[in-house]
Amino acid sequence: MSASEGSTVGGVPPEVVLFLSGKGGRSLIVKGGAGTGKTTFGLELLERIGQPTRSYYLSTRVGDEALYRQFPWLRTTEMRTRILDAAKLFLDAIGPGRKAPEAEMPESEQRKVRAGREVLGSFGQERGPPTRVDRTHLQALLKRSPMPEVENVYNRIERALPEKSLLVIDSLEGVTHKYGLEMEEFVMALQKDLVEASSTDVVMILEKPEAGGIEYLVDGLISIQREELDERRVRHLRLEKLRATNIGRARYAVTLDGGRFSALGIGPNGNLATGSGPWKPVPDPERFYSTGIPDFDKLLGGGLRRGSFNAFEVDVNVGINDYYTLFTPTFLNFLSQGRGIIAVLAAGESPEELRETLIRHTPANQFDTRVRVPDYSANETEEPYILPMARFGRDEAMRAMVTAEKAVAGPDRKPFLEYTAFDTFESLMGDQVAIRLYYQGVSRTKHVGNLGIGLLKPGLLISSEILNMMDTYFRIINIDNAPCIYGIRPRTTLHAISHDPEKGAPHAVLTPIV
């Protein structure tokens, strides 16, 4: 499967796609400790990048059935033809009707072929696409020990020529230990025979986190590590070397959800909608408000409870676009059902950008009449949805807020969403006044059944007091350029936040990080 620069294939990093899609063969070592996902990554490359009739997975660690039990998606007819366990290849190699077109050529004929290639090379002539697999280095190893399954793979690759093949070997230690070979000499044979002379992409999986000094022999090196983050498992894929390929990002957070390997944070993830058309509301379960994100509703057991306050604490490296990917569906789901919003925005957030984002999917008049944004730095405005709070004294400000609440509730007095960025409250009023006012707001909101969403940024003095009042508490963090969320109250696993790949923005999905 060819790929243009910057394209993505499934959950495979675009740099890897580009690396394995160039002309000629490439060699790649994938290293990492036990349980990091190396086997899953190799199988993902096989499906996403390799062609069905020209990609092979040679497993020396487990047989076919063990792989199918762990990865049920391999049972498709197309994928089954690519799985080559060592036992099956051995039987194929010694069975009747075996053909070895070049492997058993007389040594004198093989020398003539090699000499002809060297002569052409000396004249600086570029050879055309290979039609036979070079076996020079393999033959040297076969003099010490027969390797029928490796020979069989060479034969399969040769039958596919001049088209390019992809070979995944899992694991490199398995083959070399079985035949008493040094890892360096076996990698050299694959590099010279298959990669350089036969235009084959070869991916070699190591069972350990260190390559032991063979990195210089190959064109690419990838490592996969696993760590614990707040008692939650996270895996990282690091692009250490990809020869002749621009590495835009050196590290990706990855998930093995559903037995598939997926690098996170690949696609665009902004708060501006990329689609068009009205938002179709997600129904509210009884006693809950839907977040507008089915994955999030499921994680919460139905949605955010009516009359609840919910805290979202964001790390310093989380941008506005990141957390708005999560909040925008909730805003739209409220407006699309005739409910309003009062939004005290954080520093850096803009009333105009909020309106621009939401009116792509809800009527402008609906926004202007049912949304109010108190702006504590504005003395005047021509926009009906902005409250210029800087012009008011204390009593006038309170009356203005009462008027705003009536507007967003509408004539039918529907509950509304209260979005509060606490950095704005603390900077304007000080920590003690802000806490006292918000405590009063929490009590009132619970009584009338509104929905409260509070945004906490790093360094706030009021964070601990605010969190004590919250019904739920979530943290939004950035892992390798992928915005992620996990619940502290209630406790949840890590999930990556992204736009829905099928529906597009502003629809969002949560992907479990496992």
pLDDT tens profile 305-314: 999 999 999 9
- Which stretch of 216-230, 254-268, 376-390, 453-467 has the lowest confidence by average pLDDT? 453-467
Mean pLDDT of 126-137: 84
| pLDDT of amino acid 128 | 73
Give me the percent of the chain exceeding a pLDDT of 90. 58
- pLDDT surpassing 60 at residue 97: no
- pLDDT surpassing 90 at residue 300: yes
pLDDT in tens, 13-54: 999 999 998 889 999 999 999 889 999 999 999 888 888 789
Provide the pLDDT confidence category of residue 127 given band limits of 50, 70 and 90: low
User: Minimal CA–CA distance to 459: which of 313, 327, 355?
Assistant: 313
| pLDDT of amino acid 8 | 47
In sequence order, what are the residues at sequence separation of 6 or more whose Cβ sits closer than 8 angstroms to the Cβ of residue 69?
A: none
User: Minimal CA–CA distance to 323: which of 461, 148, 483?
Assistant: 483
| pLDDT of amino acid 102 | 46
Residues 282, 303: Cα–Cα separation, whole Å: 11
Provide the pLDDT confidence category of residue 189 given band limits of 50, 70 and 90: very high
Query: Which residues is 166 bridged to in the sheet?
Result: 55, 201
State the average pLDDT for the chain: 84
The strand ranges marked E within 296-375 are 304-305, 309-314, 341-344, 371-375
Residues 48, 267: Cα–Cα separation, whole Å: 17
- Which stretch of 147-156, 270-279, 437-446 has the lowest confidence by average pLDDT? 270-279
In sequence order, what are the residues at sequence separation of 6 or more whose Cβ sits closer than 8 angstroms to the Cβ of residue 363?
A: none
Kindly list the structural domains of the chain, giving each domain's residue range(s) and its CATH number in brackets, ordered by start.
29-202 (no CATH), 288-512 (3.40.50.300)
- pLDDT surpassing 90 at residue 373: yes
| pLDDT of amino acid 68 | 56
Q: What are the CA-CA distances from residue 375 to residues 346, 386, 457 (Å)? A: 10, 6, 19
CB 499: neighbour CB atoms within 10 A?
Answer: 22
Mean pLDDT of 357-377: 93
pLDDT in tens, 312-351: 999 999 999 999 999 999 999 999 999 999 999 998 899 9
Provide the pLDDT confidence category of residue 94 given band limits of 50, 70 and 90: very low
- pLDDT surpassing 50 at residue 123: no
* Degrees, nearest 5: CA angle 142-148-152: 110
Does the pTM exceed 0.75? yes
- pLDDT surpassing 90 at residue 61: no
The burial of 61, by beta-carbon neighbours within 10 Å (0-12 exposed, 13-18 middle, 19 or more buried), is given as: middle
| pLDDT of amino acid 466 | 77
| pLDDT of amino acid 436 | 66
Alpha carbon 373 to its chain's center: 34
Residues 77, 190: Cα–Cα separation, whole Å: 28
Alpha carbon 156 to its chain's center: 34
- Which stretch of 232-246, 359-373, 390-404, 429-443 has the lowest confidence by average pLDDT? 429-443
Q: Which residue has the higher pLDDT, 38 or 9?
A: 38
- Which stretch of 28-42, 262-276, 361-375, 440-454 has the lowest confidence by average pLDDT? 262-276
Return the C-alpha torsion angle 381, 382, 383, 386, nearest 10: 20
Give me the percent of the chain exceeding a pLDDT of 70. 79
- pLDDT surpassing 50 at residue 2: no
